[in-house]
Protein backbone atom coordinates (compact mmCIF):
# COMPACT_ATOMS: atom_id res chain seq x y z
CA UNK A 1 0.00 0.00 0.00
CA UNK A 2 1.38 3.34 -1.03
CA UNK A 3 1.82 6.21 1.38
CA UNK A 4 -0.91 8.32 -0.22
CA UNK A 5 -3.33 5.44 -0.10
CA UNK A 6 -2.56 4.88 3.63
CA UNK A 7 -3.13 8.57 4.46
CA UNK A 8 -6.30 8.53 2.48
CA UNK A 9 -7.49 5.46 4.33
CA UNK A 10 -6.72 7.01 7.77
CA UNK A 11 -8.47 10.25 6.78
CA UNK A 12 -11.49 8.27 5.73
CA UNK A 13 -11.49 6.28 8.98
CA UNK A 14 -11.42 9.48 11.07
CA UNK A 15 -14.20 10.97 8.94
CA UNK A 16 -16.33 7.84 9.43
CA UNK A 17 -15.77 7.93 13.22
CA UNK A 18 -16.71 11.61 13.46
CA UNK A 19 -19.79 11.01 11.32
CA UNK A 20 -20.76 7.97 13.42
CA UNK A 21 -20.35 10.02 16.59
CA UNK A 22 -22.52 12.75 15.14
CA UNK A 23 -25.22 10.32 14.06
CA UNK A 24 -25.32 8.49 17.39
CA UNK A 25 -25.45 11.74 19.36
CA UNK A 26 -26.83 14.47 17.15
CA UNK A 27 -27.92 16.65 20.09
CA UNK A 28 -24.82 18.02 21.80
CA UNK A 29 -26.80 19.09 24.88
CA UNK A 30 -27.69 15.47 25.66
CA UNK A 31 -25.30 12.81 27.01
CA UNK A 32 -23.85 10.30 24.61
CA UNK A 33 -25.12 6.83 24.01
CA UNK A 34 -24.72 4.83 27.23
CA UNK A 35 -23.86 1.16 27.21
CA UNK A 36 -25.67 -0.71 30.07
CA UNK A 37 -26.97 2.53 31.61
CA UNK A 38 -28.28 0.75 34.69
CA UNK A 39 -24.74 0.14 35.87
CA UNK A 40 -24.17 3.89 36.17
CA UNK A 41 -27.68 4.85 37.16
CA UNK A 42 -29.11 2.00 39.22
CA UNK A 43 -32.85 2.17 39.88
CA UNK A 44 -33.74 3.46 43.34
CA UNK A 45 -36.79 2.96 45.49
CA UNK A 46 -38.07 5.30 48.16
CA UNK A 47 -38.26 3.77 51.64
CA UNK A 48 -42.03 3.32 51.58
CA UNK A 49 -42.46 2.69 47.84
CA UNK A 50 -43.66 -0.73 46.67
CA UNK A 51 -40.78 -2.91 45.54
CA UNK A 52 -41.16 -5.90 43.23
CA UNK A 53 -37.71 -7.25 44.15
CA UNK A 54 -38.68 -8.46 47.63
CA UNK A 55 -41.09 -11.22 48.54
CA UNK A 56 -43.31 -8.97 50.66
CA UNK A 57 -43.33 -6.25 47.98
CA UNK A 58 -42.04 -3.44 50.23
CA UNK A 59 -38.72 -1.59 50.12
CA UNK A 60 -38.04 -1.23 53.86
CA UNK A 61 -37.12 -4.68 55.11
CA UNK A 62 -37.35 -5.81 58.73
CA UNK A 63 -34.02 -6.74 60.34
CA UNK A 64 -33.42 -10.44 60.81
CA UNK A 65 -34.68 -11.72 64.18
CA UNK A 66 -31.88 -11.37 66.71
CA UNK A 67 -30.27 -8.40 64.98
CA UNK A 68 -28.57 -6.02 67.42
CA UNK A 69 -27.40 -2.45 66.91
CA UNK A 70 -23.70 -2.08 66.29
CA UNK A 71 -21.81 -1.64 69.55
CA UNK A 72 -24.74 -2.54 71.79
CA UNK A 73 -24.73 -5.74 73.78
CA UNK A 74 -28.28 -6.93 74.49
CA UNK A 75 -29.54 -7.15 78.07
CA UNK A 76 -31.71 -10.21 78.56
CA UNK A 77 -33.98 -8.86 81.29
CA UNK A 78 -37.64 -7.99 81.50
CA UNK A 79 -38.94 -4.98 83.46
CA UNK A 80 -40.18 -7.15 86.32
CA UNK A 81 -39.21 -7.32 90.03
CA UNK A 82 -38.13 -10.94 89.51
CA UNK A 83 -35.72 -9.95 86.76
CA UNK A 84 -34.43 -7.07 88.93
CA UNK A 85 -33.43 -9.70 91.51
CA UNK A 86 -31.90 -11.87 88.80
CA UNK A 87 -29.92 -8.87 87.51
CA UNK A 88 -28.70 -8.39 91.08
CA UNK A 89 -27.27 -11.91 91.04
CA UNK A 90 -25.84 -11.81 87.54
CA UNK A 91 -24.66 -8.28 86.73
CA UNK A 92 -21.44 -6.91 88.14
CA UNK A 93 -20.18 -3.37 87.73
CA UNK A 94 -17.62 -3.23 84.92
CA UNK A 95 -15.99 -0.21 86.55
CA UNK A 96 -12.74 -0.04 88.40
CA UNK A 97 -14.36 0.70 91.77
CA UNK A 98 -11.37 2.67 92.97
CA UNK A 99 -11.43 4.96 89.92
CA UNK A 100 -11.69 8.58 91.05
CA UNK A 101 -12.73 9.58 87.54
CA UNK A 102 -15.70 7.18 87.58
CA UNK A 103 -16.78 8.42 91.01
CA UNK A 104 -16.53 12.06 89.98
CA UNK A 105 -18.47 11.34 86.83
CA UNK A 106 -21.02 9.47 88.96
CA UNK A 107 -21.37 12.51 91.23
CA UNK A 108 -21.94 14.68 88.17
CA UNK A 109 -24.55 12.29 86.73
CA UNK A 110 -26.31 12.03 90.10
CA UNK A 111 -26.46 15.81 90.51
CA UNK A 112 -27.91 16.28 87.02
CA UNK A 113 -30.27 13.30 86.72
CA UNK A 114 -31.11 11.93 90.15
CA UNK A 115 -30.90 14.70 92.73
CA UNK A 116 -34.05 16.42 91.40
CA UNK A 117 -36.05 13.62 93.01
CA UNK A 118 -33.67 11.82 95.35
CA UNK A 119 -32.11 14.98 96.80
CA UNK A 120 -28.44 15.92 96.66
CA UNK A 121 -27.77 13.65 99.63
CA UNK A 122 -29.96 10.79 98.38
CA UNK A 123 -32.46 11.04 101.22
CA UNK A 124 -35.47 11.52 98.90
CA UNK A 125 -36.14 15.25 99.43
CA UNK A 126 -35.34 16.62 95.96
CA UNK A 127 -37.28 19.61 94.59
CA UNK A 128 -39.51 17.40 92.41
CA UNK A 129 -40.52 15.35 95.46
CA UNK A 130 -41.09 18.57 97.45
CA UNK A 131 -43.54 19.72 94.79
CA UNK A 132 -45.73 16.69 95.11
CA UNK A 133 -44.18 13.89 93.04
CA UNK A 134 -44.27 10.67 95.09
CA UNK A 135 -41.14 10.94 97.22
CA UNK A 136 -38.58 8.20 96.61
CA UNK A 137 -37.33 6.19 99.56
CA UNK A 138 -33.97 7.28 100.96
CA UNK A 139 -31.07 5.71 99.11
CA UNK A 140 -29.31 5.55 102.48
CA UNK A 141 -32.04 3.35 103.99
CA UNK A 142 -31.72 -0.34 104.76
CA UNK A 143 -33.67 -1.38 101.66
CA UNK A 144 -31.38 0.42 99.17
CA UNK A 145 -28.29 -0.66 101.12
CA UNK A 146 -29.27 -4.29 100.67
CA UNK A 147 -29.95 -4.01 96.94
CA UNK A 148 -27.11 -5.35 94.84
CA UNK A 149 -25.34 -3.29 92.18
CA UNK A 150 -26.95 -5.28 89.37
CA UNK A 151 -30.38 -4.62 90.88
CA UNK A 152 -29.69 -0.88 90.94
CA UNK A 153 -28.62 -1.17 87.32
CA UNK A 154 -31.94 -2.84 86.57
CA UNK A 155 -33.81 0.02 88.33
CA UNK A 156 -31.91 2.65 86.33
CA UNK A 157 -32.35 0.72 83.09
CA UNK A 158 -35.98 -0.36 83.33
CA UNK A 159 -37.38 1.90 86.05
CA UNK A 160 -39.29 0.76 89.13
CA UNK A 161 -42.87 1.88 89.89
CA UNK A 162 -42.69 5.70 89.97
CA UNK A 163 -39.01 5.75 89.10
CA UNK A 164 -38.64 6.18 85.32
CA UNK A 165 -36.13 4.35 83.14
CA UNK A 166 -32.90 6.21 82.47
CA UNK A 167 -31.76 3.91 79.66
CA UNK A 168 -32.30 6.50 76.95
CA UNK A 169 -30.70 9.41 78.84
CA UNK A 170 -27.68 7.67 80.36
CA UNK A 171 -25.17 5.38 78.67
CA UNK A 172 -24.58 2.10 80.46
CA UNK A 173 -21.27 3.39 81.72
CA UNK A 174 -22.92 6.48 83.20
CA UNK A 175 -25.54 4.30 84.89
CA UNK A 176 -22.73 2.32 86.52
CA UNK A 177 -20.98 5.59 87.39
CA UNK A 178 -24.15 6.82 89.11
CA UNK A 179 -24.44 3.52 91.00
CA UNK A 180 -20.84 3.85 92.14
CA UNK A 181 -21.68 7.31 93.46
CA UNK A 182 -24.79 5.99 95.28
CA UNK A 183 -22.53 3.41 96.93
CA UNK A 184 -20.10 6.16 97.82
CA UNK A 185 -22.86 8.19 99.48
CA UNK A 186 -24.09 5.14 101.36
CA UNK A 187 -20.63 4.25 102.55
CA UNK A 188 -19.94 7.84 103.59
CA UNK A 189 -23.24 8.17 105.44
CA UNK A 190 -23.06 4.94 107.39
CA UNK A 191 -19.62 3.36 107.26
CA UNK A 192 -20.58 0.90 109.99
CA UNK A 193 -23.84 -0.24 108.40
CA UNK A 194 -23.83 -3.73 106.90
CA UNK A 195 -23.75 -3.33 103.14
CA UNK A 196 -23.48 -5.59 100.14
CA UNK A 197 -21.37 -2.95 98.44
CA UNK A 198 -17.96 -4.15 97.34
CA UNK A 199 -16.52 -0.68 97.99
CA UNK A 200 -13.03 -0.57 99.35
CA UNK A 201 -12.40 0.90 102.75
CA UNK A 202 -10.65 3.86 101.16
CA UNK A 203 -13.89 4.91 99.49
CA UNK A 204 -15.74 4.93 102.78
CA UNK A 205 -13.42 7.72 103.92
CA UNK A 206 -15.49 10.90 103.47
CA UNK A 207 -12.33 12.98 103.12
CA UNK A 208 -11.59 11.25 99.83
CA UNK A 209 -15.12 11.47 98.47
CA UNK A 210 -15.84 14.48 96.25
CA UNK A 211 -19.23 15.88 97.19
CA UNK A 212 -19.87 13.05 99.64
CA UNK A 213 -21.84 13.48 102.82
CA UNK A 214 -19.80 14.04 105.98
C1 LIG B 1 -38.66 11.53 88.64
C2 LIG B 1 -38.07 11.33 89.95
C3 LIG B 1 -36.85 10.39 90.00
C4 LIG B 1 -35.65 10.53 89.37
C5 LIG B 1 -35.20 11.66 88.46
C6 LIG B 1 -34.85 9.42 89.81
N7 LIG B 1 -35.56 8.61 90.64
FE8 LIG B 1 -34.89 6.95 91.54
N9 LIG B 1 -36.73 6.64 92.35
C10 LIG B 1 -37.78 7.50 92.26
C11 LIG B 1 -38.92 6.95 92.96
C12 LIG B 1 -40.28 7.60 93.10
C13 LIG B 1 -38.49 5.70 93.49
C14 LIG B 1 -39.31 4.71 94.27
C15 LIG B 1 -39.85 3.69 93.28
C16 LIG B 1 -40.72 2.65 93.97
O17 LIG B 1 -41.72 3.04 94.57
O18 LIG B 1 -40.39 1.47 93.86
C19 LIG B 1 -37.11 5.55 93.10
C20 LIG B 1 -36.32 4.44 93.40
C21 LIG B 1 -34.97 4.36 93.18
C22 LIG B 1 -34.12 3.29 93.63
C23 LIG B 1 -34.59 2.09 94.43
C24 LIG B 1 -34.60 2.43 95.89
C25 LIG B 1 -35.27 1.39 96.72
O26 LIG B 1 -34.98 1.36 97.94
O27 LIG B 1 -36.08 0.60 96.20
C28 LIG B 1 -32.86 3.58 93.24
C29 LIG B 1 -31.61 2.77 93.49
C30 LIG B 1 -32.90 4.83 92.50
N31 LIG B 1 -34.20 5.28 92.48
C32 LIG B 1 -31.82 5.44 91.94
C33 LIG B 1 -31.91 6.55 91.11
C34 LIG B 1 -30.79 7.10 90.38
C35 LIG B 1 -29.35 6.60 90.48
C36 LIG B 1 -31.28 8.12 89.64
C37 LIG B 1 -30.53 8.97 88.63
C38 LIG B 1 -30.03 8.28 87.49
C39 LIG B 1 -32.70 8.24 89.92
N40 LIG B 1 -33.03 7.26 90.80
C41 LIG B 1 -33.54 9.19 89.38
C42 LIG B 1 -37.82 8.70 91.58
C43 LIG B 1 -36.79 9.18 90.79
pLDDT tens per residue, range 50-82:
999 999 999 999 999 988 888 778 889 999 999
What confidence tier does 195 reach under pLDDT thresholds 50, 70, 90? very low
Q: How far apart are CA 23 and CA 185, in angstroms?
A: 85
Decide: 118 in ligand 1 pocket, CB within 6 A: yes
Nearest to 199 by CA among 177, 178, 184: 184
Mean pLDDT of 183-208: 61
Decide: 178 in ligand 1 pocket, CB within 6 A: yes
What is the chain's mean pLDDT, rounded? 86
Ligand 1 atom at minimum distance from 170 CA: 38
Contacts of 120 (CB under 8 A, 6+ apart): 111, 126
Ligand 1 atom at minimum distance from 138 CA: 26
Distance 84 CA to ligand 1 centre (A): 14
Instruction: Enumerate the domain spans of the chain.
Output: 81-207
Give the dihedral sign, CA 40/46/49/55: positive
Does 141 have pLDDT greater than 80? yes
Closest residue (by CA) to atom 14 of ligand 1? 136
Decide: 185 in ligand 1 pocket, CB within 6 A: no
Ligand 1 atom at minimum distance from 141 CA: 26
Q: How far apart are CA 214 and CA 85, in angstroms?
A: 31
Side-chain-side CA neighbours of 71 within 13 Å: the count stands at 2
Please report the pLDDT score of residue 44 as a whole number: 86
Q: How far apart are CA 103 and CA 179, in angstroms?
A: 9
Q: How far apart are CA 164 and CA 161, in angstroms?
A: 8
* Segment among 19-23, 180-184, 206-210 with least mean pLDDT: 206-210
Q: Which long-range contacts (CB under 8 A, 24 or more apart) does 74-78 make?
A: 75/157, 77/154, 77/157, 77/158, 78/158
Please report the pLDDT score of residue 109 as a whole number: 97
Ligand 1 atom at minimum distance from 128 CA: 2
CATH topology of domain 81-207: Cytochrome Bc1 Complex; Chain D, domain 2 (1.10.760)
* Segment among 10-14, 135-139, 166-170, 189-193 with least mean pLDDT: 189-193
Mean pLDDT of 145-164: 95
Decide: 152 in ligand 1 pocket, CB within 6 A: yes
Amino acid sequence: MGRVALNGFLFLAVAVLVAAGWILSPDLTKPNFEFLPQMAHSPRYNAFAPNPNFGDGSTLQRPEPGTIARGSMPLHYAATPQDALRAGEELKSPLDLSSVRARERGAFVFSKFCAVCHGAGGTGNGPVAQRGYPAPPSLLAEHALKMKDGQLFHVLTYGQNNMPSYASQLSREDRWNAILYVRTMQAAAAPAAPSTSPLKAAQADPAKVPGGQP
